[in-house]
Amino acid sequence: MLFSMFFGAGNLIFPPMIGASAGEAFTPAMAGFLVGGVALPIVAIVAIAFSGSDLSDLSRRAGRLFGVLFPVAIYLAIGPFFGLPRMGAVAYSTSFVPLTSHDSLLSAVIFSAVFFSVSVALAWNPRTIIQSLGKVLTPTLLIFLAILIVRSVQVLNGTPSAAQDDYAIRPISAGILSGYLTMDSVAALAFGIIVVDTLRANGAVRRRHLIPQTITAAFIAGAFLSVVYIGLGLIGRSIPNSSHYTDGAALLIDAAAQSLGPTGAFVFSMTVLAACLTTAVGLLAACSEFFHRMLPVIGYHVWLVGFAVVAFSFSIHGLPTLLSIAGPLIGFLYPIAITLITVALVGAVVNRWTKLPVTFRMAVGVAVVWSAATTLAGLGFGTDWLTPVLHTVPLHEMSLGWVVPVAAAAMLGLVIDLIQAGKGRNEG
């Protein structure tokens, strides 16, 4: 179930382009991608398991106000305002249109209406998602992926090209950045609520059972993701003239046609459709469950239908419109999310001494300030003074400029927390 919720259309497209762009540097580039696109999401799920039951429990450790605002922003961003409509738009443009050759406003409306209606039906009972996704749709998705990957690797015999751009200079870090940009770590924070609730519904009520089972589920999902990513990457590495591709979807469409003939278009379209549908179901259920807990007076099903309607409305406007609206918000939230996950895991290690209140507040506070500054700079504010300042910080060119200042703040906060904890033990 967890694998299928993670594996959306973006996850299908990124790895082939890594294979095509990295070429001879495929191994270190893919290793980096697995760190950013698999390890970080697994860590996020584990952080949720240790912190409580959902993102709110984790976020409150950085302050009450932050514990409300941040989860709301995360769920709205990856749910009805971007993630959900993106699934509908990608499924239409990459699955329906190539297969049927129909592309009009009416066909987009009809397709999106059917897509989100099916998603609502599958997410209607969040306790049974493990049945609909884990036991039905995920095997279907894996079958299509296996056909596409195995046949493509057997048939395609292109020579790996020379590594391009950053993959030629620093393939590992370039791969990490690509994995980081899948934004699955943010999605993992949202999916945690479904994982925990599903395990509880299946008997893992106590914490000593819940934590190891959540960790096991996360690692199984990570193993599936790793195998599929490597396979998709090999397609990009093996297709003839791989260096000429700039779009992962176009690359996979050509690979399917070359390796599967006339049935290739069908296999690729069904793979995209299954990937988008499973992720949409997970996002709908997670968002609806979260807001139902936050405002119990409004039922889960009301949230579910409402979010589906909002996502449907946005999806028919196409991907460019969605990206222009949600891109800055996602960019703002992502460093904060990674900071929260990292500090939570550090807290799990030193929990016997202190709960790290200062560390949480300092690290998250710096992440919020940095994200706000980079978002404003990206929107064109402060180009004469803010942008030059940001460029002086290490890793800024890789969209990781927040790492150094946040790490410094976290280290300082950790020292303060440990000193205060030591004083408390001495006084006790």
CA distance 330 to 87: 16
DSSP string across 49-79: HHH-SSHHHHHGGG-HHHHHHHHHHHHHHHT
Give the model's pLDDT for residue 176: 84
pLDDT digits (tens, 9 = 90+) for 374-390: 888 877 887 778 888 88
Confidence at 397, pLDDT banded by 50, 70, 90: confident
246: Cβ contacts below 8 Å, ≥ 6 apart: none
Residue 325 pLDDT greater than 70, yes or no: no
CA distance 33 to 230: 10
Q: Is the dihedral of CA 56, 58, 59, 64 positive or negative?
A: positive
Share of the chain above pLDDT 70, in %: 93
Confidence at 417, pLDDT banded by 50, 70, 90: confident
CA distance 282 to 191: 7
Helices (H), 26-63: 26-34, 40-51, 55-59
pTM of the model: 0.82
Give the model's pLDDT for residue 354: 63
DSSP 351: T
pLDDT digits (tens, 9 = 90+) for 277-317: 888 988 898 899 889 988 999 999 999 999 999 999 888 87
3-state secondary structure of 161: coil
**Interval 68-84 mean pLDDT:** 87
Question: Residue 388: what residue type?
Answer: P
Neighbours of 384 (CB within 10 A): 6
Confidence at 56, pLDDT banded by 50, 70, 90: confident
CA distance 315 to 330: 17
Among 335, 293, 343, smallest CA distance to 58 is for 343
**Interval 197-212 mean pLDDT:** 73
Cα-based angle 364, 208, 195 (whole degrees, multiple of 5): 60
- C-alpha radius of gyration, the chain, whole number: 22
**Interval 23-32 mean pLDDT:** 91
Residue 324 pLDDT greater than 70, yes or no: no
Give the model's pLDDT for residue 352: 55
Neighbours of 392 (CB within 10 A): 8
How far from 361 is each of 91, 163, 406, CA to CA, in Å? 40, 42, 11
CA distance 371 to 336: 7
Give the helix/strand (H/E) hosting 137.
none
Give the model's pLDDT for residue 64: 87
Residue 48 pLDDT greater than 80, yes or no: no
Give the model's pLDDT for residue 299: 93
Least confident of 43-52, 161-170, 364-373: 43-52
Give the model's pLDDT for residue 272: 87
Which domains does the chain possess?
1-317 (1.20.1740.10), 328-427 (no CATH)
Give the model's pLDDT for residue 376: 87
Neighbours of 391 (CB within 10 A): 11
353: Cβ contacts below 8 Å, ≥ 6 apart: 418, 421
Contact 248/12 with Cβ under 8 angstroms? yes
221, with CB counted inside 10 A (0-12, 13-18, 19+), is buried
How far from 374 is each of 10, 56, 293, 369, CA to CA, in Å? 24, 25, 32, 9
CA distance 154 to 137: 26
Give the model's pLDDT for residue 400: 79
Distance in angstroms between the alpha carbons of the first and the last residue of the chain = 47
Share of the chain above pLDDT 90, in %: 23
Give the model's pLDDT for residue 105: 85
Least confident of 43-57, 222-236, 290-304: 43-57
- Mean of the per-residue pLDDT values of the chain: 84
